[in-house]
Amino acid sequence: MNFKTVQTKPIDGQKPGTSGLRKKTSVFRQPGYLENFVQSIFDGTGGAAGKTYVLGGDGRFFNTDAIGIIIRMAAANGAARLIVGQGGILSTPAASNLIRKYGTDGGIILSASHNPGGENGDFGVKFNAANGGPAPEKLTDAIHKETTRIAQYKIAEDDIGDIGKIGSFTVGSTQVDVVDPVDDYEALMQDLFDFDAIRALFAGGFRMCFDAMHAVTGPYAKRILEGSLGASEGSVINAVPSPDFGGGHPDPNPVWAKEVVETMEGPDAPDFGAASDGDGDRNMIMGRSAFVSPSDSLALLTAYAHLAPAYSGKLSGVARSMPTSRAVDLVAERLGIPCFETPTGWKFFGNLLDAGMATLCGEESAGTGSDHIREKDGLWAVLLWLNILARDGRDIVQLRADHWRSFGRNYYSRHDYEEIPTEDANALMSGLRAKLPQLPGTTVAGLQVSAADDFAYLDPVDQSLTEAQGVRITFTDGSRVVLRLSGTGTQGATLRVYLERFVDSGGDHAQDVQAALAPVIEAAEQLAQIAKHTGRSTADVIT
């Protein structure tokens, strides 16, 4: 095996975001671009010599080629072992599980999550630490520092073995083990959930539709839902991963997961609907003609998690991202457990989970998970819902309605303004931040402001401080507006506006969501002057 050292120089713009480095696929395919970033991962985390890594991706365009490059680089950098998903396929939750189960030194996951794929789509690379979770800021900062001073990278010159076949081969002295991507993940799910109860549910005529959106969860859902649990054949749709996700946008929300939405709103709708995203870490949940918002889903899962074997004891706590609705806070209060509010980004849950301070966690952006791994997990959420429905006996619509009658309803929506010129987005946020000190006590669109700040998070475990995580404006009636710029896009900036209004247990829970939120929507416009800064009268995506 021949190795070579290639002279290079820094490439601008390789600073990892909340979920690694995401760019257009064409950018990653530029000579040296991927190589520079991967070498910086190795160098920024103490070198690869003697280490073991998990490696896989969501199957999007360039996934297989990138896997080959990374294997050759890991070997040239002296890695001892690589655990690679067959065909280069690993869902993000499955990769996290492998890192933890086999005690590896981390993993490299190739995905841009819910972003579109294909030759003209997006690509991403992120490093997960030895706990199985996304690299904390100290590691991403170290990786970024290496990207600004890199002078060379190492790579094997020769071809590698076949990653399409389960088995082992070597590249130099590096052992490459190609594993079934589903086996270990399925075994973990069997440990967490009552598979017998779920089998009995399906045997009794329960029907579901799971939309894999031509993405990575297809093989997992087919094996587990239709295979092990006995859901009828065809319950999993769009099950074959595609390099361009079938030409679609693998974001599990009612806008993009149209096929399962139409099925669940049809005359012969199944009992339960769900979808997952590009790399399998997000989920969408539906009942018949009823979308369950991610915020409500987190609250309901927390309330009924005890029906699943793994969570039958008292939950240690629950955590949500700051923009996520406060519905789960009410459940945590009644259960007598702490509820933590963190910045957006799954890595912020890691310390809480590692410290045993939280058992369940979730984000409004369709991510829910638990301490079983250190990533959000789309199929896990589906299985927990199925376990709850199998043990409780009510259908999902009735369960949700009863929950609102008991806890009240947090009407909630997110309005996304995509691909805004970065300078315009920054001007909007700067102008809003400048107003914050004067806002408490003022009235906007008939709502009186009780508090306004730019969210900062003091980690209760390591005492690290993370600032400027989004503007929060709270009103005296419990309504809330949150505005922040997203770090998951690849062009311009995405402004996310989160809107929340609480109606107590005796109020009207049957209103149209956008109608219920109308005063809050108007307040957001008046405060941030969104139309003025973006030139848009409506959001691009409303969920």
Question: Strand pairing of 471-475 and 480-486?
Answer: antiparallel
Give the C-alpha distances (Å, rounded to integers) separating 209 from 232, 443, 526: 10, 46, 41
Sequence length of the chain is: 543
Which residues fall within 8 angstroms of residue 52, CB to CB, at 6 or more apart?
79, 80, 81, 82, 83, 102, 103, 104, 105
Provide the total of helices (H) and of strands (E) in the chain, helices listed first.
18, 27
Helix (H, G, I), strand (E, B) or coil at 30: coil
Angle value at C-alpha 30, between 26 and 36, nearest 5 degrees: 120
- Of the candidates 352, 208, 331, the one whose C-alpha atom is nearest the C-alpha of residue 271 is 208
- Of the candidates 241, 239, 275, the one whose C-alpha atom is nearest the C-alpha of residue 256 is 275
- Note if 113 is an active site residue: yes
Q: How many Å apart are CA 503 and CA 476, to the nearest integer?
A: 13
Q: How many Å apart are CA 434 and CA 321, to the nearest integer?
A: 24
Q: Is the dihedral of CA 294, 494, 128, 67 positive or negative?
A: positive
Q: Phi and psi dihedrals of 380, rounded to 5?
A: -55, -45
Q: Which tokens belong to 4? A: 């070579």
Q: How many Å apart are CA 196 and CA 101, to the nearest integer?
A: 24
Which of 111, 113, 276, 321 is the catalytic position?
A: 113
Q: Catalogue the active-site residues.
A: 113
